[in-house]
């Protein structure tokens, strides 16, 4: 019995070693749920969110840097720098890296960067920004820009302060050394690096180059680890562009336009200088103008290239079309007599009302029609040609179409088909009414006569070249078509020379010792649907030396503000501007006088004026 009693505790102890079924299944279930939860979480992270976390990890570790290509330079025909690229730095701050004790340096930093100290304090406070708003994410801010495009000199002063977290990012910035010089021809590159207008836009394909990049890893302090650089593609810098523009002639033109503004305060003015034989533009300028370095500080209207965009009725400068057409068709010659005393002309069953002349002229020769700028004479030339041929010659001279210069913004003007003409158009179109043109179109038409009757495509780029000076793409001269015969161009030139004489309408364009061929133009502006007697566009287009033309100059002045009782005639406001620039060009290029007997005296006078 005693043995039995002693065995009972042992048996009890043996039973206590085993867990009850409830406890066993409870623990098994708890462990299983834990592992399943952990496995489910891993599946969620590694499968469903794999891309998100891969991007985060890659973004934290990988460092992709764009290597910006340097934009090519723009130079004039003599190699003078008109647009270039310089290195500048965007200075910013990392709010996470600011150290206690650097507060005193912020005042010095604000003075160097010309900032309000409060702007720096505000930048430091931007330590967190909201990430994906749908996921409620927040991210640390590691960069806040303080100052845009500072020079290396300024940045060196910033680095000397030794402020932790303040650093700069290098970038390229466009610089125009001539300030406003040739601004409408050059255009500009905006803050986003986009080329706007002018050469910058037209030649952007050549100038911009090809950006490169490099892929590497960065450490916890955002520093690149070059040993882990996996890929590097070097940038290919842009090519350079040589313009046909001559810096010094461009400067002459812009100074003359500034004088016109001072004297007449016009709504606007344009001047173009070119070589008739090649179509090369040596200068093109407008007022108002702007500084492409500070383009955002000027009104958009100041950035308009008025020589290509502004339309006006050309007036008497257009008379070369009807007279040239009649001469080319053999309908008249320079000695034929035109009766300018009649106000109505009868042709068969038709009756034409002729425009008025400023002064009674009576019966005069075709040459005198040009010299005296007779409206009635020009109208009769148009009638002799007929509507269809008159229209065709307008098109041949380049009106009603773009000249093809390519800068951008050019307008085609307004030239209606004969089917849309009213009863007055045949007599008004030959005198430069019922048509709208740009200064460039008028300039190109006159250059056609100067070039022996051949219309050239104007060009403002000579070539594209690389950093070694090797020409990559030449921009060759391009004749477009013959408009009139060489003999007709010579005859018309002789008539235009008589215009720039004491008997003609452009005596203010005369230059002693030189034969100047040209034509004035004065048109009334349309105000509220009617021609105004107070608002005019005055113009002059001419070339020299007349016997072997080297230079064509066009001057257009929109609504010159004259003294009381005076009108802004082309011979008054535009012809003198032509003369002033022409004299400077003669001295600069060393063009020989037409009259050799007066060569020394005339050249000395011109040189004295230009000095």
pLDDT of residue 219: 60
| Mean pLDDT lowest among 61-70, 178-187, 284-293, 495-504 | 61-70
Alpha carbon distance 19, 166 (integer Å): 67
The CA-atom distances, in angstroms, between 206 and each of 59, 177, 242, 477 are 34, 21, 12, 20
CA angle 204, 205, 207 (to 5 degrees): 60
pLDDT per residue over 415-438, tens digit each? Answer: 999 999 998 999 999 999 999 999
CB environment 379-391: b (16+ within 10 A), e (fewer): bbbbbbbebebbb
Question: Residue 594: is its pLDDT beyond 70?
Answer: yes
Task: Decide if 606 contacts 514 (C-beta within 8 A).
Answer: no
Mean pLDDT score, 241-258: 98
Confidence band, pLDDT 50/70/90 cuts, at residue 267: very high
Residue 440 tokens, joined: 């460039």
Which ranges of 220-289 does DSSP label H, i.e. alpha helix? 247-264
- Per-residue pLDDT, averaged over 408-421, amounts to 94
In this predicted model, what pLDDT tens digit does every residue of 53-69 receive, in sequence order? 666 555 556 666 777 88
Tokens 């500048």 identify what position? 88
Q: Could you tell me which residue, 160 or 610, shows the higher pLDDT?
A: 160
* All CATH 3.90.1310.10 domain ranges in the chain, comma separated: 67-123+145-243
**Model confidence pLDDT, tens digit, residues 427-473:** 999 999 999 999 999 999 999 999 999 999 999 999 999 999 999 99
Could you tell me the fold of the domain covering 247-610?
Answer: Beta-lactamase (3.40.710)
On whether the 67-123+145-243 domain is CATH 3.40.50.460, my answer is no
Rounded Cα distance between 382 and 390, Å, is 6
3-33 residue pLDDT tens: 444 444 555 454 555 678 877 778 888 888 8
The string of DSSP codes covering 421-486 is: --TTHHHHGGGT-S-BB-HHHHHHHHHHHHTTTEEEE-B-EEEEE-TT--EEEE---EEEEE-S-H
pLDDT digits (tens, 9 = 90+) for 546-579: 999 999 999 999 999 988 767 889 999 999 999 9
The CATH 3.40.710.10 portion of the chain extends over 247-610
**Rounded average pLDDT over 574-586:** 97
Q: How far apart are CA 282 and CA 269, in angstroms?
A: 17
Query: What number is the average pLDDT over the span 140-146?
Result: 78
CA–centroid distance for 272 within its chain: 16
């Amino acid at each position: 019995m005693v043995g039995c009693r002693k065995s009972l505790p042992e048996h009890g102890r043996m039973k206590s070693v085993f867990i009850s079924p409830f406890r066993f299944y409870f623990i098994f279930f708890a462990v299983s749920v834990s592992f399943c939860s952990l496995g489910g979480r891993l599946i969620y992270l590694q499968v469903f969110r794999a891309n998100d976390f891969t991007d985060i990890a890659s973004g934290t570790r990988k460092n992709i840097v764009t290597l910006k290509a340097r934009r090519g330079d723009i130079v004039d025909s003599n190699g003078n720098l008109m647009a270039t690229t310089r290195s500048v730095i965007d200075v910013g701050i990392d709010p996470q890296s600011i150290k206690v004790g650097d507060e005193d340096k912020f005042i010095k930093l604000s003075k160097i960067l010309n900032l309000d100290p409060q702007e720096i304090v505000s930048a430091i406070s931007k330590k967190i920004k909201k990430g994906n708003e749908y996921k409620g994410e927040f991210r640390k801010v590691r960069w806040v820009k303080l100052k845009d495009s500072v020079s290396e000199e300024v940045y060196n002063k910033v680095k000397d302060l030794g402020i932790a977290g303040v650093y700069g990012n290098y970038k390229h910035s466009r610089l125009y050394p001539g300030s406003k010089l040739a601004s409408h021809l050059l255009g500009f590159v905006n803050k986003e690096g986009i080329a706007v207008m002018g050469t910058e836009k037209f030649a952007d394909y050549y100038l911009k180059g090809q950006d490169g990049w490099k892929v590497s890893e960065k450490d916890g302090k955002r520093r690149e680890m070059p040993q882990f650089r996996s890929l590097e593609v070097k940038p290919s810098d842009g090519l350079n562009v040589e313009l046909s523009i001559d810096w010094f002639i461009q400067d002459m033109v812009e100074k003359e336009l500034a004088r016109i503004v001072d004297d007449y305060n016009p709504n606007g003015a344009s001047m173009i200088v070119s070589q008739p034989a090649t179509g090369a533009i040596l200068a093109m300028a407008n007022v108002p103008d702007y500084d492409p370095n500070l383009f955002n500080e000027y009104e958009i209207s100041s950035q308009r290239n008025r020589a290509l965009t502004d339309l006006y009725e050309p007036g008497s400068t257009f008379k070369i079309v009807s007279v040239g057409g009649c001469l080319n068709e053999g309908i008249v010659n320079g000695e034929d007599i035109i009766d300018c005393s009649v106000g109505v002309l009868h042709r068969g069953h038709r009756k034409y009302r002729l425009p008025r002349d400023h002064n009674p002229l009576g019966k005069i020769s075709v040459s005198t029609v040009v010299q005296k700028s007779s409206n009635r004479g020009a109208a009769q030339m148009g009638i002799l040609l007929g509507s269809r041929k008159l229209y065709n010659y307008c098109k041949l001279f380049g009106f009603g179409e773009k000249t093809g210069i390519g800068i951008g913004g050019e307008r085609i003007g307004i030239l209606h088909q004969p089917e849309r003409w009213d009863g007055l158009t045949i007599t008004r179109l030959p005198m430069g009414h019922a048509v709208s043109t740009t200064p460039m179109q008028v300039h190109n038409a006159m250059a056609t006569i100067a070039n022996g009757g051949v219309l050239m495509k104007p060009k403002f780029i000579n070539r594209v070249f690389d950093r070694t000076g090797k020409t990559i793409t030449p921009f060759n001269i391009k004749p477009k078509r013959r408009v009139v015969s060489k003999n007709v161009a010579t005859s018309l030139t002789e008539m235009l020379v008589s215009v720039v004489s004491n008997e003609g309408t452009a005596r203010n364009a005369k230059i002693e010792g030189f034969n100047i061929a040209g034509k004035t133009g004065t048109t009334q502006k349309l105000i509220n649907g009617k021609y105004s007697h107070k608002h005019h566009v005055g113009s002059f287009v001419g070339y020299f030396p007349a016997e072997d033309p080297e230079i064509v100059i066009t001057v257009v002045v929109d609504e010159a503000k004259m003294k009381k009782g005076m009108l802004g005639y082309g011979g008054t406001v535009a012809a003198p501007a032509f003369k002033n620039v022409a004299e400077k060009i003669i001295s600069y290029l060393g063009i020989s006088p037409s009259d050799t007997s007066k060569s020394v005296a005339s050249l000395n006078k011109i040189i004295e004026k230009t000095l």
